[in-house]
Structure 1
Amino acid sequence: MADGGWSYRDAGVDLDAAERAKDRLKALVAETRDANTLSGLGLFGGLYSVPDDVEGPVLVSSADGVGTKLKVAFMAGRHDTVGQCLVNHCVNDILVQGARPLFFLDYLATGAMDETVVTEVVTGVAQACKENACSLLGGETAQMPDFYADDEYDLAGFIVGLVERGRILDGSAIAEGDVLLGLASSGLHTNGYTLARKIVFDHMGLRVDDEFPELERTVGEVLLDMHRSYLSLLWPLLQRDRLHGLAHITGGGIPGNLPRVLPEGLGAAVDRGSWTPPPLFRVLQRAGGVERDEMYRVFNMGIGMIAVVPPGEVAAVTAELEAAGEAVTVLGAIERGSGVRWTD
């Protein structure tokens, strides 16, 4: 305690460190500016001009977090990828409604201000914003001693995107007979980590620096694989109205997410034998003794995005995606009914 009484720093909040961290972030934020960004870091609110070259512009927004994947980042001492995971997750969430991102805001709450960690996290956020042509408009870094441990933090984000009213993907175009094309995930993405951590660290007794079975990579590397963005891959198809729908496969797996984009009266028949889940998922299932249906309800099982495509477009869409280096799997089709029906 300083002479004469308590200070905020005595209570656990370092305002000087917070200011230094903010100074470090200004350059990162500035690199994501575009022609519609009207403000810099430091204002009470970020200013962004809605593009005027879109007919019937509709704003699309979403908010999300990284979940307990952060626990792995704490253990591994690696903080540059979780920010990218956060942005890419949010980008995918609005992409399924046909929207491209305009701007992003992040919220980072920590127990004690570690300027290096904060900079690493926000560097990842800024990097993903640049890769998705999205302005990092602002954010908030909060010090909350006694709420979070000194070496821990929480991370969340908020995104706003834009879609032309006539190109909104709302499920209305989806019809019986449409084909489901699966696009590969890049790992667990940002879902199922509470179960995965329990299996890997508690049951299997592995550490972050140990080799993950069958993968010849460390546990930390495997579990921190980045949640990929599908924007650059799918945007050309959306611009030419080649897709009837998209489903981002997050928490809840295929049965929990695909029905969210289907109109009333339609369901999906999905063949689990049409693709082979990557070794990561097989290891988790075997080591944890997890039932098959539970695996597909918790994890993406190697499919991170599903495109709903009219039958006459399947060959052309598949060829275009494969030309871009994407492996495409025909998972099944839309049928009358509701929910997901496994056909294997």
Structure 2
Amino acid sequence: MDYRDAGVDVEAGRAFVDQIRNLVHSTFRKEVLGGLGGFGGCFQLPSGYQEPVLVSGTDGVGTKLKIAQVLNRHDTVGIDLVAMCVNDVLTSGAEPLFFLDYLATGKLEKEQLTEVVAGIASGCKQAGCALLGGETAEMPGFYQVGEYDLAGFCVGIVEKSQMLDGSQVKVGDIAIALASSGVHSNGLSLVRKVVSDGGFAWDQRPELLGGQTIAETFLNPTRIYVKPVLAARKAGLEIHGMAHITGGGLPENLPRCLGTNQAIKINPNSWQIPPIFQWLAQAGNVNPEAMYNTFNMGIGFVLLVPPTQVEQTINYFQSEEIPAFAIGEVITGDNSLVGLL
């Protein structure tokens, strides 16, 4: 008896690493030391920082993977994985430097997992960070054949004097929302229940979704905000706080970027809810409170800026082809949202 008899193919694992080598190398920055295959990835800190602060984040993709696996489409979930980590790190004002992934599967299927890694590499390029390394675990009996799970880890850097921690936010600051590309990677368990309980098929094309299939709509990858936001700060736009709108929606995530004794008064009529969320609410008979506490409702990222910077900020992101709109104002309060529902 050997390891292959137990369901683990070591040679297939080596062949997989060789197959993805070029994808990984295509993401490397000049600070990467060495190549793929060592026990650890090595990265030299960029020069020019006086008091560099490292900011780390980790996340997964959740049950969105179930949709990808049911449809046998694996080219977008890697982008989601990177996005969930780098967008979190960005809220501190940090530039993502490198990313590592953990990929676990029941049986290593090279073509399937190469698609996944291609998505991870694409996400890293969008964020400007290096895919420094990772781990692929073949776990027969733990995952079914064709199933896999993903987790990721990102490290970024920011000058201490430029780090955002809530203390910069002022009463009177305006919340500028940056549009999401869809549901991103949160609330997919509810999405799957709506589809299943409603008797819908993933290849159906509801009129409200504008001709896309249900599957195409919900597999649309998470938008990565890193490069335009960092460029905006570098160009001189004054940003006092940032929030990544993930699980828990606006009510849970937006207050996380506030200072002490602050709240945000939201104007719920300041943006149009995208059709994807309208369809979910109707198809699943989901009430507004549950929708806002589960989904991003069309807002993937929020910036807090001084009133004098509102027009300039909106125009900048519109020029980057990211719809942006003012949705509220920072007020004195108890670290909550006011007026959303």
**TM-score band w.r.t. shorter chain:** over 0.9
The count of residues paired between Structure 1 and Structure 2 equals: 338
- The one-letter amino acid of 2:55's match is V
SS of corresponding position for 1:146? coil
1:314 maps to: 310
Is 317-326 or 166-175 further displaced after alignment? Answer: 317-326
Per-residue Cα deviation, 1:169-200 (whole angstroms, up to 9, x for no partner): 11111011100111110001000000011001
Asked if residue 262 in structure 1 is aligned to residue 262 in structure 2, the reply is: no
2:287 maps to: 291
- The one-letter amino acid of 1:17's match is A
Per-residue Cα deviation, 1:254-288 (whole angstroms, up to 9, x for no partner): 00001111112001111111111111101111111
1:303 maps to: 299
For the Cα contact (< 8 Å) 1:28–1:126, is it kept in 2? yes
For the Cα contact (< 8 Å) 1:171–1:263, is it kept in 2? yes
1:340 maps to: 337
For the Cα contact (< 8 Å) 2:91–2:244, is it kept in 1? yes
Mapping 1:24-63, distance limit 5 Å? 24-63=19-58
SS of corresponding position for 1:273? coil
1:323 offset after TM fit, Å?
2.4
Measured in 2, the distance between the counterparts of 1:320 and 1:55 equals 29
SS of corresponding position for 2:220? coil
Measured in 1, the distance between the counterparts of 2:232 and 2:202 equals 39
Per-residue Cα deviation, 1:224-264 (whole angstroms, up to 9, x for no partner): 00101011221122222510011100000000001111112
Measured in 2, the distance between the counterparts of 1:92 and 1:343 equals 23
Measured in 2, the distance between the counterparts of 1:289 and 1:343 equals 20
1:342 offset after TM fit, Å?
1.6
- The one-letter amino acid of 2:263's match is G
Measured in 2, the distance between the counterparts of 1:302 and 1:173 equals 26
2:275 maps to: 279
Asked if residue 7 in structure 1 is aligned to residue 2 in structure 2, the reply is: yes
- The one-letter amino acid of 2:213's match is T
2:193 maps to: 198
> Structure 1, unaligned stretches of length 5 or more?
1-5
1:343 offset after TM fit, Å?
5.3
Is 237-246 or 121-130 further displaced after alignment? Answer: 237-246
Measured in 2, the distance between the counterparts of 1:256 and 1:212 equals 30
1:214 maps to: 208
For the Cα contact (< 8 Å) 1:105–1:136, is it kept in 2? yes
- The one-letter amino acid of 1:101's match is P
Asked if residue 148 in structure 1 is aligned to residue 143 in structure 2, the reply is: yes
Measured in 1, the distance between the counterparts of 2:130 and 2:331 equals 40
1:39 offset after TM fit, Å?
2.0
Asked if residue 123 in structure 1 is aligned to residue 115 in structure 2, the reply is: no
1:329 offset after TM fit, Å?
1.5
1:40 offset after TM fit, Å?
1.1
2:77 maps to: 82
For the Cα contact (< 8 Å) 2:96–2:127, is it kept in 1? yes
Is 147-156 or 270-279 further displaced after alignment? Answer: 270-279
Measured in 2, the distance between the counterparts of 1:326 and 1:30 equals 29
SS of corresponding position for 2:269? helix
Measured in 1, the distance between the counterparts of 2:59 and 2:111 equals 24
For the Cα contact (< 8 Å) 1:212–1:222, is it kept in 2? no
- The one-letter amino acid of 2:308's match is G
SS of corresponding position for 1:18? helix
Per-residue Cα deviation, 1:283-306 (whole angstroms, up to 9, x for no partner): 111111111111000000001111
2:98 maps to: 103
* Equivalent of 2:133 in 130, 134, 138: 138
TM-score by length of structure 1 reads 0.96
TM-score by length of structure 2 reads 0.97
Per-residue Cα deviation, 1:187-216 (whole angstroms, up to 9, x for no partner): 01000000011001x122122222244121
Measured in 2, the distance between the counterparts of 1:319 and 1:304 equals 18
For the Cα contact (< 8 Å) 1:84–1:227, is it kept in 2? yes
Measured in 2, the distance between the counterparts of 1:92 and 1:16 equals 36
* Equivalent of 1:235 in 225, 230, 233: 230
> Structure 2, unaligned stretches of length 5 or more?
none
SS of corresponding position for 1:274? coil
